[in-house]
Amino acid sequence: MVKRKKIVKKKATRAKTKKNVYFFGGGKADGNGSMKNLLGGKGANLAEMAGHPKLRIPVPAGFTITTEVCTYYYDKHGRYPAGLKDEARLALKKVERIMGKRFGDPENPLLVSVRSGARQSMPGMMETVLNVGLTTRTIAGMIKQTGNERFVYDAYRRLITMYSDVVMEKAAGIEPGEGKGIRQQLEKLLSEKKRERGVRLDTELNAADLKDLCEKYKKKVKQVLGKVFPDNAEKQLWGGIGAVFSSWNGRRAVAYRNIENIPHEWGTAVNVQTMVFGNMGEDSGTGVAFTRNPGNGDSKFYGEYLFNAQGEDVVAGIRTPAPINKNSQSDQNRHEVMLKDAMPGIYRQLDAIQNRLEKHYHDMQDIEFTIEKGRLFLLQTRVGKRNGPAAVKMAVDMVKEKLITREDAVMRVRPEQLDELLHPIIDPDAEKKNKFLAKGLPAGPGAAVGMIVFDSNSSVKWAKKGKKVILVRDETNPEDVEGMRAAQAILTARGGMTSHAALVARGWGKCCIVGCGNLDIDYNGKAVKIGDTVLKEGDWVTLNGTKGLVFKGVLPMMDATKENKVLNSFLSICDTIRKMKIRTNADTPEDARKAREFGAEGIGLFRTEHMFYGKGAEEPLFKLRKMILSDTIEEREAALKELYPFVKADIKGTLKAMAGLPVTIRLLDPPLHEFVPHQKEQLEQLAKSLKVDMSNLEKRISLLKESNPMMGHRGVRLGVTYPEITEMQVRAILEATAELVKAKEKVSPEIMIPVVGTDREIDDQRAIVSRVYKEVLKKYHLRKVPLMVGTMIEIPRAALTADKIAEVAEFFSFGTNDLTQMSYGFSRDDMGGFLAPYLDKGILSKDPFQSLDQEGVGQLISLGIDRGRKVRPGLKVGICGEHGGDPDSIAFCYRAGMDYVSCSPFRVPIARLAAAQAAIQGSRGKK
């Protein structure tokens, strides 16, 4: 029976013989920052921080188990390489020596954290277990060591909760549900205890309360999961490590990787690190900071911290954290004590460290720190996520500061991030007139309008139906990622600028407001109360993510891009690097003017037929319809004559607006039937004007109908069968050109023949162009006018016979919308019937109409360019499909050797960046 042809498969044998565990701590490290693929981002950075002589940063000692072990673990169905446990034991010994404590020791016990760490950060997507090593044997030692019984039982309570949830429940095969898992049941016990003791906060419970709670927790775990909570440090450690590896293929992590295009075969490393405690009293604390402001890019140290708390309390957004310094103050945290004031020495040390880190890494760092009884530890450093405006500002600033090169700056901004700078904002006038309902932290810039929903599932469902939704939650967690993705914006009641919602939204450049305290959400009633206002599911709100304001109803939006100096500086840097020209697809003189403001260097696609759509087009459209429904060549020529002045005026206006930049004018493309009216009055009017009766008119219309209009009588096929249509358009272009030449205006028209499949079609049409060209020169007494004649390459056969076509065509413009349709045999209009299952099953990795199918369609493009240039070395080549605005596709176009890409006006800045990145990657690739 059938078998897939075997391709050589890299076996995960490396882990058998190689080093699997990398120690770090005490000024030394086995690894370093360059080993991200092996140690994961977190592990590599911990090694770098601990071991690099220029950094010497206090890091709790620990070790990293490599990503190769993870690969092995999956290949071998959950087994580890043979020597792994011995290696880990040796590393742990070193940690014990440096920290002066012993793991599982009843007297002086070492506690560790077990955390994931992939090559690329996947915040919150995998499991973590803290306080590993606390057992009935070590509790007493811990109490002796810390002198804080309450703290130890609190840590124990946290360990039981986390471990039973992350390790034991997962091992039992239960995926996290809503309010049904062990975690929820344990938290219920906590609430009961608080009620019983008449207190509101966890911190109000005393040691005895917590000790009692721990016993109740363990009983509950046994009862719910049928297993005893392990009372052995070693067992806890390997349970935690296994849980982290397992979580690499958890539903959340897989979904995240699919969204972020992270390969599933990379695997995660595991970091086992000495626990340091930010919750050891008022001389302890924990925080997250950024070397620059990730929200706007300001070059100022920025961070938040919580006294007497563990790290996850900051990220989870349960308490609103305090600012570390003045730069980090906001309306929400202004009343809290700054770290700078509370612990000036620690702050200075931290500030010095963040300075060293940014200089060392040449990029903004996102760092986690803990203060344990007045002692500062860095737990993590990594390149900080930032939103688009911040990314652009940092890139421009760092070039000025000589921290990075111009090329680095260009590579620092993802093209999608520019999108954020181009996002609409609320019309300032409308915003002034409306009182906002609520104010939160401005976690994601731009504005958004949508209908509110209160859970992730509804967000996904409504969005699939094409509705614009805004996800409103108390706080978000990794389970909400898909719903957040589907929403226009996210609004949460709790959490700070470093909360889950803020981090995720920032990564996506999505509008987001967090910590909007006066939101009172009723999940069951599907409503939110804000002051006196009650909003129900489906009600419209408008968010200003740049300021953190929530408005009721729909407010008008406007363009945010005008006069953005930082953006323009950044794009100027891009322009000095890129090698491809950027043109735009524009159909009117106004579009043309707008596109030039965006930086377009020409029009790559002017669709003549667009003058028949939209407002003001009634008269030319009526005349076009008369032409289409003409029965004889005489009728048609008469109608064309009426149409002529409209076409000429439109083209002339556009040519003039582009002031000498090239304008590619495509001859009439769509099947004629598309223009036929459907309303009775319009048909009657037409019949009257054509002097035929309705039945005759209907007969003419029915003759135009096609089974597959996409592959029907359109483009050059119209021009061949109705040469008079081509002639009219060509004359309009050339007379407009001649008149502008006479008026000493600069013009550069390019006639583009669409839907060409063979060189003979262009030959046929070119004969018309040549004749009209001579006639126009004569009429205007000119010796020549500028003109190029080329073709769209959008039919596979045209690409295949590009050598012949280039004998006739002076330029190629790849129409990748149609080229994708024909190459894949996908009708874009009908693809809805199967696109979703195709994406879900991974049969298509992307919608090929969004991002060019480089593997298939790309072959036709490369081959078409090569063959065309073989015959006509100077052949000008561009792209005018919608892929011209997609960064991946732009990079492909550059590699394929195109001279320009053309995209919608709004995408021009993004294309400028993408083209610059492509040029850099191209020259780096060559080296």
H or E segment to which residue 646 belongs: helix 633-657
Using rule CB under 8 A, residue 760 touches its own copies: yes
Name residue 535's beta-bridge partners: 528
Using rule CB under 8 A, residue 526 touches its own copies: no
> Min. distance of Cβ 671 from its own copies in angstroms?
9
Using rule CB under 8 A, residue 758 touches its own copies: yes
Query: From residue 619, how far is each of 612, 630, 895 by CA, in Å?
Result: 8, 17, 45
Q: Residue 694 or residue 703: which is nearer to its own copies going by CB?
A: 703
Q: Which of 829, 925, 926, 927 binds its own copies (CB under 8 A)?
A: 829
Using rule CB under 8 A, residue 83 touches its own copies: no
Using rule CB under 8 A, residue 789 touches its own copies: yes
Torsion of CA 46, 51, 55, 61, to 10 degrees: 50
Could you tell me if 445 and 546 are in contact, meaning their C-beta atoms sit under 8 angstroms apart?
yes
> Min. distance of Cβ 679 from its own copies in angstroms?
20
Name residue 371's beta-bridge partners: 285, 376
Using rule CB under 8 A, residue 810 touches its own copies: yes
Q: How many CB atoms lie within 10 A of CB 851?
A: 16
Q: Residue 569 or residue 664: which is nearer to its own copies going by CB?
A: 664
Could you tell me if 165 and 220 are in contact, meaning their C-beta atoms sit under 8 angstroms apart?
no
DSSP 419-482: HHHTS-EE-HHHHHHSPPSEE-EEEE-SEEEEEEESSHHHHHHHHHTT--EEEEESS--GGGHH
Q: How many CB atoms lie within 10 A of CB 121?
A: 21
Q: Under rule CB under 8 A, which residues in 866-895 are in contact with its own copies?
A: 871-872
**CA-closest candidate to residue 101, choices 345, 277, 343:** 277
> Min. distance of Cβ 841 from its own copies in angstroms?
6
Judged by CB under 8 A, the number of residues near its own copies is 67
Using rule CB under 8 A, residue 856 touches its own copies: yes
- Residue in 70, 214, 423, 500 annotated catalytic: 500
> Helix, strand or coil for residue 758?
coil
The secondary structure of residue 564, as a DSSP letter, is -
| Site track for its own copies across 43-82, x = CB under 8 A | ----------------------------------------
Using rule CB under 8 A, residue 7 touches its own copies: yes
DSSP 125-152: SS-EEEEET--HHHHHHHHHHHS-HHHH
Which phi and psi angles does 140 have, rounded to 5°? -60, -45
> Min. distance of Cβ 11 from its own copies in angstroms?
19
Instruction: Give the integer Cα–Cα distance in Å for 56 and 762.
Output: 70
Instruction: Give the integer Cα–Cα distance in Å for 927 and 919.
Output: 13
Using rule CB under 8 A, residue 806 touches its own copies: yes
Using rule CB under 8 A, residue 466 touches its own copies: no
> Min. distance of Cβ 863 from its own copies in angstroms?
9
Using rule CB under 8 A, residue 834 touches its own copies: yes
> Min. distance of Cβ 777 from its own copies in angstroms?
9
Instruction: Give the integer Cα–Cα distance in Å for 575 and 36.
Output: 32
Q: Under rule CB under 8 A, which residues in 137-166 are in contact with its own copies?
A: none
Taken as a whole, the chain contains a residue count of 927
Name residue 451's beta-bridge partners: 469, 540
Active site residue 880: yes
Q: Residue 383 or residue 839: which is nearer to its own copies going by CB?
A: 839
Q: Residue 306 or residue 768: which is nearer to its own copies going by CB?
A: 768
Using rule CB under 8 A, residue 841 touches its own copies: yes
Q: Residue 154 or residue 794: which is nearer to its own copies going by CB?
A: 794
Instruction: Give the integer Cα–Cα distance in Å for 555 and 543.
Output: 9
Interface segment toward its own copies; rule CB under 8 A; list 22-30, 441-449, 547-555, 786-794: 786-794
- Residue in 880, 883, 893, 903 annotated catalytic: 880
Instruction: Give the integer Cα–Cα distance in Å for 500 and 505.
Output: 8
Q: Residue 616 or residue 856: which is nearer to its own copies going by CB?
A: 856
Interface segment toward its own copies; rule CB under 8 A; list 397-405, 491-499, 506-514, 759-767: 759-767
> Min. distance of Cβ 4 from its own copies in angstroms?
5
Using rule CB under 8 A, residue 808 touches its own copies: yes
| Site track for its own copies across 711-750, x = CB under 8 A | xxx---x--xx-----------------------------
| Site track for its own copies across 677-716, x = CB under 8 A | -----------------------------xxxxxxxx---
- Which residue type, as a one-letter code, is found at position 849? F
Q: Residue 344 or residue 856: which is nearer to its own copies going by CB?
A: 856
Instruction: Give the integer Cα–Cα distance in Å for 538 and 458.
Output: 10
> Min. distance of Cβ 642 from its own copies in angstroms?
24
Rg (CA), the chain: 33
> Min. distance of Cβ 567 from its own copies in angstroms?
38
Q: Which of 178, 855, 925, 926 binds its own copies (CB under 8 A)?
A: 855
Interface segment toward its own copies; rule CB under 8 A; list 4-12, 25-33, 589-597, 909-917: 4-12
Q: Residue 502 or residue 819: which is nearer to its own copies going by CB?
A: 819
Q: Which of 757, 864, 878, 887 binds its own copies (CB under 8 A)?
A: 757
Could you tell me if 793 and 802 are in contact, meaning their C-beta atoms sit under 8 angstroms apart?
yes
Using rule CB under 8 A, residue 669 touches its own copies: no
> Which residue matches tokens 């419209």?
540
Using rule CB under 8 A, residue 830 touches its own copies: yes
Interface segment toward its own copies; rule CB under 8 A; list 243-251, 389-397, 789-797, 901-909: 789-797
Return the structure tokens found at 463.
């969005």
> Helix, strand or coil for residue 909?
helix
Q: Which of 432, 691, 784, 927 binds its own copies (CB under 8 A)?
A: 784
Interface segment toward its own copies; rule CB under 8 A; list 212-220, 538-546, 650-658, 792-800: 792-800
What's the gap between Cα 338 and its chain centre? 34
Using rule CB under 8 A, residue 795 touches its own copies: yes
- Which residue type, as a one-letter code, is found at position 198? G
Interface segment toward its own copies; rule CB under 8 A; list 20-28, 385-393, 528-536, 821-829: 821-829
Residues 6+ apart with CB under 8 A from 144: 107
Using rule CB under 8 A, residue 444 touches its own copies: no
Backbone angle region of 616, left / alpha / beta, with phi > 0 → left and psi within -120 to 50 → alpha: left
> Min. distance of Cβ 107 from its own copies in angstroms?
57
> Helix, strand or coil for residue 102?
strand
Return the structure tokens found at 543.
């968010």
Active site residue 512: no
Could you tell me if 538 and 452 are in contact, meaning their C-beta atoms sit under 8 angstroms apart?
yes
Alpha helices by DSSP H, listed for 261-369, are 311-316, 339-342, 344-361
- Residue 74, CB half-sphere, CA atoms under 13 Å: how many? 19
Checking DSSP bridges between strand 540-544 and strand 447-453, what pairing results, if any?
antiparallel
Interface segment toward its own copies; rule CB under 8 A; list 293-301, 500-508, 531-539, 854-862: 854-862
| Site track for its own copies across 762-781, x = CB under 8 A | -xx-x--xx--x--------
The secondary structure of residue 556, as a DSSP letter, is P
Q: Residue 9 or residue 335: which is nearer to its own copies going by CB?
A: 9
Residues 6+ apart with CB under 8 A from 66: 15, 18, 19, 20, 21, 22, 38, 39, 269
Which residues are the active-site residues? 500, 880
Binding site for its own copies (CB under 8 A): 1-2, 4-5, 7, 706-713, 717, 720-721, 755, 757-758, 760-761, 763-764, 766, 769-770, 773, 784, 787-789, 794-797, 800-801, 806-808, 810, 818, 821-827, 829-830, 833-834, 837-838, 841-844, 853, 855-857, 859-860, 871-872
